[in-house]
A and B are shown apart, each in its own frame.
Chain A
Amino acid sequence: MAARNARGRDVMGVGLAALNRLAGATVIDRLKLRKPTERAVYEASKAGFRAVGVANRQFAAVQNRSKPERPASAGDSGLFDLNPTDEQKMILEATSEFAAELLRPAASAADTACEAPDTILKRSISELGVTQVGVPESLGGMASERSTVTGVLVTEALAHGDMGLAVACLAPAGVSNALVLFGSAEQQATYLPAFVGDEVPAAALAVLEPTVLFDPFELKTTARRSGDGFVLDGVKSLVPRAATAELFVIGAALDGVPTLFLVESGTAGITIESEPAMGIRAASTARVILDGVKLPAGAVLGDAASYIEAIRLSRLGWAALACGTGKAVLDYVIPYVNERQAFGEPISNRQAVAFMVANIGIELEGARLVLLRAAARAEQGKSYARESALARRLTAEYGMQIGSSGVQLLGGHGYVKEHPVERWYRDLRACGVMEGVVLV
């Protein structure tokens, strides 16, 4: 960290630094000479900068099974096909409507408030069943087989409405999907009923850490064996809805091997620290600080292979979010550049403008096809490490580029909050940074 401050300070620099300290003095705040900043509003709304995890409901096994339930691998039609199934079309239609009518109109305010409206979170459960699409029918959900493609299509459609709100809505599904894919019979019986009921708890799959060059396979958060159980220490970063979450799935290195742990938020040693970011602010991102958190023996979720799969699937989730928001950008700039006049004609009559739109279309379609291939391979039980990595790479690169083009095409108007493109610019950068959270 020293390197970036290495530039020498001369006389003028010393003076400027002193001025800056004065300007930042808290006395100005006490005298109410400064309007509260957005960040202060956010922190106040979260009942304090730091808080312990919320005391959660009692999760208890309601039914004992000898074997965990797993959705069967999807069939393989044997033919190249880009047509969604009739069932997927129906789900997609409902989700798109939800995104257009509820998420998009609420997006700007939720971004400012750093909070998703409760009604939207509730209706994503009651109307879309976001936590139920991945859960098998035998466990009270809606899935008849593994449905990674459906998960991708739903995620994409929600992100077309708003990425931050989509992440807020989908965070509990990340946990329920992890339980379906990796949970033991007891873990499924204990936790899944809450996710297919009416009062779905806030929950999050937390992998990311506040480390430069973060590598999910070199976790700094550790799990130590202690008696029959484990003790967790470390910091998880940009965890959505962490302040209200009742259940976390947390990645920690156990004997050097990254492993998932089920952690109820009321467990002693958990502190939540708000961590608003450049974008996806409606997801109320926060740090989860784990300080000597004691977990029972049954807290391990799946095995080392499960962790790798969680990383790959969540990368598909973030790629889907990028594609959804990327499409929102494309759909927004087309009418804008066709209507906006310059030099006596629509600016879209100029190649410099039109080619930017063409490239948004080309890169978006390419990334989306790579994502769909990865998702289809995943649900068919084929290897998809390569395809997942490529989808992530494309959405990290071109997602960023599409966000930038969106603002650029609107010029100064794109830079102000009257239009959503500045939010999409901020949100799209998340897709190359985030890990975990959205597990499709």
Chain B
Amino acid sequence: MINLEIPKKFGMLINQAQQVSTEIFRPISRKYDQAEHEYPKELDMLASLIDGMNASGESSAGARGVRRDSSEKEKGNRNGTNMSGTLSIIEACWGDVAMVLSMPRQGLGNAAIASVANDEQLARFDKLWASMAITEPGFGSDSAAVTTTAKKDGDDYILNGEKIFVTAGDRSDAVVVWATLDKSLGRAAIKSFVVEKGTPGMVVERLEHKLGIRASDTATIRFTDCRVPAANLMGSPEIETESGFGGVMQTFDNTRPLVAGMAIGCARAALDEISGLLAEAGVEVDYDRPAYVQHAAAAAFLAMEADWEAAYLLTMEATWMADNNKPNSLQASMAKAKAGRVGVEITLRCVELAGSFGYSENSLLEKWSRDSKILDIFEGTQQIQQLIVARRLLNKSSADLK
């Protein structure tokens, strides 16, 4: 039966995330935006709270809720941890995107582990805060172009290469690294490895200074003859030319709705803020009367909220499909594309509507406009999402539609 409301069982989780956003993230949001690279120590006390939320079964609180449980297949319609995880991310990002990216044990690496690790690995890496290292100086979107190498040596792999733009790369306990077993065998030879901090040969070289999400550290990590146990390779160690790349790429089907959720939370913050400011300025938004007979700012608000709602529901659809074990690459990319672009459009438009107040550091509107931009870039840029959607709709291979 068609229903697009969030089930009541997620109410407590959503409320918890809202409390954290409002009471913890927002009050320190500006402080850590200005003190880039300083660790928000307030987040430590949150970690155990989040772990507690995670333990409560279906109401998973974040990035680690993305694991797909195939045993649930026959139970009919499910609203599970993909949905609840994304909902809690939305609420938390209403508070501050950078804080969410800095949340211990909630890294995108954790989502990757939850997506592709076997049960033994999942248990072993459970307590780790894991970040994700894919991008290299020589490539961004073209993730098949990995040049970091992993060479089998006895019971270990030896990693060599440089990774950039590793979110939480300095603060995390481990990094999920993409490396190739044999460059000549193409994408099928690309595997992901969990490398724990302190492993000899792994060095965090520097941190970036960024447009936004400044409370989140973005690191460059170099691997020089870095020896990693073979048991830390996730997925199959064989180079299966048929389906090899699918394994690591599958992570994205789960993480893209999460990042879409970040854009949705950030944009909602801006919409809520501007709605209050407009009301103070005497501008009321009427849903029944045509937009064009209302104040131009009210019409702009209606347009923004409509785009926001579309992005939000596309994201919910992608998570719902994941919870029900339906293939969702298309929907995950649609959600990320729409949420990424409207996140930027909405936050920037709200600055314009709020004038000099919105543009100044007296308001968080300008900060959200800077934070939102990364969400249309990482985990696949706008253009990559469009490429994926187009290939799916047109039934084209990456060789045909480049």
Report which A residues bind B (CB closer than 8 A). 74-85, 88, 149, 213-218, 308, 311-312, 330, 334, 337-338, 345-346, 348-349, 351, 354-355, 357-359, 361-363, 365-367, 369-370, 372-373, 375-377, 380, 382, 385-391, 393-394, 397
- Do the beta carbons of B79 and A79 come within 8 Å of each other? yes
B176–chain A nearest beta-carbon distance, Å:
29
Determine the chain A residues whose CB is within 8 A of the CB of B2 once the complex forms.
81-85, 88, 149, 372, 375-376
16 new A-B contacts, CB < 8 A, other than A79-B7, A394-B309, are A79-B79, A81-B1, A81-B77, A81-B320, A213-B292, A217-B289, A308-B288, A338-B395, A355-B383, A355-B386, A362-B314, A365-B317, A365-B331, A370-B306, A376-B3, A397-B306
Q: Tell me if B4 is interfacial: C-beta within 8 Å of chain A.
A: yes
Do the beta carbons of A366 and B311 come within 8 Å of each other? yes
CA distance A390 to B331 in the complex (A): 21
Are B394's CB and A77's CB within 8 A?
Answer: no
A393, B293: Cα distance in complex, Å: 14
- Are the C-beta atoms of B4 and A373 separated by less than 8 Å? yes
A-B contact count (CB 8 A): 173
Contact A366 B338 (CB under 8 A): yes
The reply to whether B79 and A385 contact each other, CB–CB distance below 8 Å, is no
How many Å from the CB of A184 to the closest CB on chain B? 25
Query: Do A83 and B401 touch across chains, with their CB atoms under 8 A apart?
Result: no
Residue among A345, A346, A373, A386 making CB contact with B313, cutoff 8 Å: A373
The reply to whether B77 and A349 contact each other, CB–CB distance below 8 Å, is no
* Closest B residue by C-beta to A392: B306
User: Which 3 interchain pairs have the tightest Cβ spacing?
Assistant: A366-B310, A369-B313, A354-B390
Most buried by A among B2, B320, B389, B400: B2
Chain B interface residues toward A at CB < 8 A: 1-8, 77-79, 83, 287-293, 302-303, 305-307, 309-311, 313-314, 316-317, 320, 331, 334, 337-338, 383, 386-387, 389-391, 393-396, 400-402
C-alpha spacing A386/B310, complex, angstroms? 13
* Contact (Cβ within 8 A) B290 A80: no
A367 to B307, CA, bound (A): 9
A370 interface neighbour in B6, B309, B390, Cβ under 8 Å = B309
| Pairs across A and B, CB under 8 Å, 21 listed | A81-B1, A81-B320, A213-B290, A213-B293, A330-B393, A334-B393, A338-B396, A351-B386, A355-B383, A355-B387, A358-B386, A358-B389, A359-B386, A362-B314, A365-B317, A369-B4, A369-B313, A376-B5, A380-B3, A385-B287, A394-B306
Question: How far, in Å, is B271 (CB) from chain A's closest CB?
Answer: 12
Residues of A within 8 A of B401 (CB): 348-349, 351, 354
Q: How far is the CA of A16 from the CA of B208 in the complex (A)?
A: 67
Known contacts: A80-B79, A376-B4, A385-B287. The answer to whether A349 contacts B386 by CB under 8 A is no
Contacts of B7 in A (CB 8 A): 78-80
* Neighbour of B1 across the interface among A77, A217, A363, A369, CB < 8 A: A77
- A375 contacts which chain B residues (CB < 8 A)? 2
Cα-based distance from A308 to B287 in the complex (angstroms): 11
Tell me, rounded to whole Å, the shortest Cβ–Cβ distance linking B279 to chain A: 16
Shortest Cβ distance from residue B162 to the other chain A in the assembled complex, whole angstroms? 29
Check B394–A367 contact: CB distance below 8 A.
no
Residue of B nearest to A76 (CB): B3
Q: How far is B2's CA from A74's CA once the two chains are assembled, in angstroms?
A: 11
- CB-based contact B1/A365 at 8 Å: no
In the complex, which residue of chain B has the Cβ closest to the Cβ of A374?
Answer: B4
A312→B305 contact, CB < 8 A: no
Q: Is A78's CB under 8 angstroms from B8's CB?
A: yes
B289: chain A residues within 8 A (beta carbon) = 215, 217
Contact B5 A349 (CB under 8 A): no
Query: Which residues on B sit within 8 Å (CB–CB) of A393?
Result: 291, 302-303, 306
* Residues of chain A lying within 8 A (CB to CB) of residue B337: 358, 362
A389 touches B310 (CB 8 A): no
B22 to chain A, nearest CB (A): 23
Query: In angstroms, how far is the closest chain B Cβ from the Cβ of A9?
Result: 31
Cβ distance B330 to chain A, nearest Cβ, rounded Å: 8
Chain B residue numbers with a CB within 8 Å of A312 are: 288
Chain A residues positioned under 8 Å from B396 (CB to CB): 338, 348-349, 354
> A409 to nearest B CB, angstroms?
11
Interface centre among B293, B314, B393 (most CB of A within 10 A): B393
Q: A80-B83, A83-B1, A312-B288 are in contact. Are A369 and B314 (CB under 8 A)?
A: yes
* Contact pick for A372, options B4, B293, B320, B394, CB 8 Å: B4
Q: Could you say which of B5, B77, B334, B396 has the most chain A C-beta atoms within 10 Å of its C-beta?
A: B5
Contact status of A386 and B3, CB under 8 A, knowing A79-B77, A366-B338? no
Q: Which residue of B77, B305, B394 has the most chain A CB atoms within 10 A of its CB atom?
A: B394
B324 to chain A, nearest CB (A): 9
Contact A390 B305 (CB under 8 A): yes
Given contacts A362-B338, A376-B5, contact A357 B393 (CB under 8 A): yes
Please name all residues of chain B whose beta carbon is closer than 8 Å to the beta carbon of A362 when the two chains form the complex. Answer: 314, 334, 337-338, 386, 389
Contact assessment for A77 and B334 in the assembled complex, using a CB-CB cutoff below 8 Å: no
Tell whether, in the assembled complex, residue B290 and residue A214 are in contact, meaning their CB atoms are under 8 Å apart.
yes
Count chain B CB atoms within 10 A of each CB in A216, A358, A370, A390 and give the residue with the most. Answer: A358
Q: Counting chain A CB atoms within 10 Å of each CB, which of B3, B288, B338, B400 scores highest? A: B3
- Among candidates B3, B288, B310, B391, residue contacting A81 with C-beta atoms closer than 8 Å: B3
CB distance from B92 to the nearest CB of A (A): 20
Question: A366 — which chain B residues lie within 8 A by C-beta?
Answer: 307, 310-311, 313-314, 334, 338
| Set A217, A361, A367: member contacting B389, Cβ < 8 A | A361
Kindly list chain A residues whose C-beta atoms are within 8 Å of the C-beta of B310. 363, 366-367, 369-370, 390, 394
Nearest CB in chain A: distance from B122 CB, A: 26
Bound-state Cα–Cα, A144 to B243, Å: 49
Q: How far is B306's CA from A59's CA once the two chains are assembled, in angstroms?
A: 43
- A residues in contact with B313, CB < 8 Å: 366, 369-370, 373
How far does the Cβ of A144 sit from chain B's closest Cβ, in whole Å?
13
Q: Which B residues lie within 8 Å of A355 (CB)?
A: 383, 386-387, 390
Smallest CB–CB gap between B21 and chain A, Å?
Answer: 22
Neighbouring A residues of B291 by C-beta, 8 Å: 393
Contact A361 B334 (CB under 8 A): yes
B-side contacts of A78, CB under 8 Å: 3, 7-8
Q: When the two chains form the complex, which single residue of A82, A358, A382 contacts B317, counting CB atoms closer than 8 Å?
A: A82
Is the beta-carbon distance between A77 and B77 smaller than 8 angstroms? yes
Contact B287 A388, beta carbon cutoff 8 Å: yes
Provide the residues of chain A in CB contact with B77, threshold 8 Å: 77, 79, 81, 83
Q: Judging by beta carbons under 8 Å apart, are A337 and B287 in contact?
A: no
Q: With A and B bound together, what is the CA distance between A304 and B192 in angstroms?
A: 63
Measured CA separation A429–B7 after assembly (Å)? 36
Bound complex: CA A311 to CA B305 (Å): 20
A354 and B3 contacting across the interface, CB-CB below 8 Å: no
**CA A237 to CA B7, docked complex, whole Å:** 43
Residues from chain A with Cβ under 8 Å of B383 in the complex? 351, 355
